[in-house]
Structure 1
Amino acid sequence: MLGSNSRVAADLGCNGNAQSVPIGIAYAEIVVVRHGETEWNADKRIQGHLDIELNEIGRRQATAVGERLSREGKISAIYSSDLKRAFETANLIATACGGLEVIKDPSLRERNLGELQGLRHAAAARVCPKAFKVLRSQKTDREIPGGGESIDQVYQRSTTCLRNISMKHKGERVVVVTHGGVIQLLHRQAFPNQQSGRKVLNTSINIFHLSDGDNWVLKSWGDVSHLSEMKHPSTGFGGDRTSG
């Protein structure tokens, strides 16, 4: 399933700052950002495709990441999942970065988690044991009961979307706002044989360089230094392959 042409930058770090991509460079710099916190994140409730908006903390997080990105180099375009929590985050980033129009793409949505959506994570195993078993399974081709997706399906749509964006924006820096489960799969594209080892926190910055479609270089992972002055930046639930 995973690409074989991926590689990892030697200077990968948690606090790497991206500058404008030099003219003539054949890669696209894609700054992938997880959406800000929602009340359902804080309540440890599974969201999936359910359309939950940001809470006040999430809006502050999105403003903070937008202000940071505005200082770190020109952004040519902003893409976003069409779900409210991502799209609102993207619009707050766009406002801070000069008012770019956000391009919606449903291929950037979180995994559809079927009948688990809306449940608190702690209750999911008891209420929907079959669906929860699929959620926790290591088999990537299993769809979650109730209209849910398999990991393979999410991987295919999300990595294809990023490839297409990279081909449109060679030599440019673009922002993509999406969800924790999706970002974990993008990490697996860059690290085919390695788990990320940690959750993707709300409004974390994860920077990929893509060239020729299948050459992925991960430059920065899980950077939330822009939240250093906010209280409890890591309390939002989610950001792993099972949470939605």
Structure 2
Amino acid sequence: MLLLCICNSVPTLTQYSCFSSSLTSKSPNYYSHYYYYNSKLTFKHKPHQTNTLTSFTCFSPMAAFNPSDGNVTQKGSGSVDPDCTQIIVVRHGETDWNAIGKMQGQLDVELNEVGRQQAVAVAERLSKEANISAIYSSDLKRALETAEMIAAKCGGLEVITDKDLRERHLGDLQGRLYHELARVTPKAHASFKSSRTDEEIPGGGESRDQLYQRCTSCLKRIGEAHRGQRVVVVSHGGAIRTLHNRAATKGQSPGKILNTSVSVLELSEGDLWSIKSWNDASHLKQTDFLESAFGGDSSSG
């Protein structure tokens, strides 16, 4: 996709809330970098460049940039490179426990009404994506119900459940309110907050290393089974953060994973992972539920 943009008065840094992954200048005398991350399209220009005609190539498979108004809109996508798998990663919709900050972990909590409306919105969005070959989901109800709504809009595909896509097991923290953890379960809370990635949470909880191994191995299996295809994976906040940590360049933060946010990863031959877009919830801007999408992640997955 080739785009032309006349840049009149270019600021050093501008941010737009929209959806894309990467735009790069092709002009020989003008350097710019554009990247989408955590619901922001960031434009970074060389200073003192004005009235420049610049052409851009958009690498996002799911978006198109409109230079006249600065908006990025969703766009149906075509075929996938035969040497890679494109994986659209979706976080489940909101639950009542998300809304009040109660730790879920692997307890099986259903979507609330807001979460169901969010799931409908993301399903409508993904129904516009071409060539979705399979839909995978955690077997926990909040993820599975989200995945089933997506499947119904994407040609009635069968949802394949995998326990390895579950949220992190939080041991003694599960079922407790986040703001009470330090007082009610101090030992488990200390383990949860520990900087040691190999520290398990008392009560059968996982370490961050165990979560990382489980989730990244699962996604690798899915990638190897669907080379040249596009698949959807519905999972949980903590699990999705581990996938980001595997694919991201050093120093990038996953941010707060929004309910029903959409991220696009590509897994290529040679066990190469890359992020094409991250944590976009623009589909909720057409509903009354955008603010709800920001709740629950840091405390309850």
Q: Is residue 297 of structure 2 the alignment partner of residue 239 of structure 1? A: yes
Q: Aligned partners of 2:150, 2:270: CA distance in 1, in Å?
A: 26
Relative distance call for 1:149 and 1:24 in structure 2 (3 A) is closer
Q: Aligned-pair distance for 1:92?
A: 0.4
User: Which of these residues, 275, 284, 288, is aligned with residue 227 of structure 1?
Assistant: 284
Q: Aligned-pair distance for 1:192?
A: 5.2
| Letter paired with 1:190 | A
Q: How does 1:108-119 map to 2 (within 5 A)?
A: 108-119=165-176
Q: Aligned partners of 2:80, 2:207: CA distance in 1, in Å?
A: 39
Helix, strand or coil at the partner of 2:290: coil
Q: Aligned-pair distance for 1:235?
A: 3.0
Q: Aligned partners of 1:167, 1:160: CA distance in 2, in Å?
A: 11
Q: Aligned partners of 2:90, 2:220: CA distance in 1, in Å?
A: 16
For the 8 Å contact 1:167–1:213, the answer to whether it is kept is no
Q: Is residue 269 of structure 2 the alignment partner of residue 212 of structure 1? A: yes
Helix, strand or coil at the partner of 2:122: helix
Q: Aligned partners of 1:216, 1:233: CA distance in 2, in Å?
A: 29
CA distances 1:186-236 after superposition (whole Å, capped 9, x unpaired): 111112532425200000001000012520110010110100022242435
| Letter paired with 1:167 | E
Relative distance call for 1:192 and 1:152 in structure 2 (3 A) is farther
Q: Aligned partners of 1:203, 1:23: CA distance in 2, in Å?
A: 23
2:98 match: 41
| Letter paired with 2:279 | G
Q: Aligned partners of 1:143, 1:176: CA distance in 2, in Å?
A: 26
TM-score (norm 2): 0.74
2:255 match: 198
For the 8 Å contact 1:202–1:234, the answer to whether it is kept is no
Q: Aligned partners of 2:300, 2:192: CA distance in 1, in Å?
A: 9
Higher relative CO (Cα under 8 Å, sequence separation at least 6) belongs to 1
Q: Is residue 221 of structure 2 the alignment partner of residue 138 of structure 1? A: no
TM-score (norm 1): 0.91
2:147 match: 90
Relative distance call for 1:61 and 1:232 in structure 2 (3 A) is closer
| Letter paired with 2:173 | L
Helix, strand or coil at the partner of 1:198: coil
Q: Aligned-pair distance for 1:22?
A: 2.4
For the 8 Å contact 1:49–1:109, the answer to whether it is kept is yes
Q: Aligned partners of 1:176, 1:157: CA distance in 2, in Å?
A: 15
1:25 match: 82
User: Which of these residues, 103, 107, 110, is aligned with residue 50 of structure 1?
Assistant: 107
Q: Aligned partners of 1:221, 1:20: CA distance in 2, in Å?
A: 17
Q: Aligned partners of 2:252, 2:80: CA distance in 1, in Å?
A: 33
Q: Is residue 120 of structure 2 the alignment partner of residue 73 of structure 1? A: no
Q: Aligned partners of 1:23, 1:224: CA distance in 2, in Å?
A: 23
Helix, strand or coil at the partner of 1:235: helix
- Which structure 2 segments of 5+ residues have no match? 1-20, 24-34, 42-59, 63-75
The structure with the larger Rg is 2
For the 8 Å contact 2:106–2:168, the answer to whether it is kept is yes
- Which structure 1 segments of 5+ residues have no match? 1-8
Q: Aligned partners of 1:224, 1:164: CA distance in 2, in Å?
A: 27
**Aligned-CA RMSD value:** 1.8
Q: Aligned partners of 2:184, 2:80: CA distance in 1, in Å?
A: 54
Question: Higher strand share goes to which structure?
Answer: 2
Helix, strand or coil at the partner of 1:141: coil
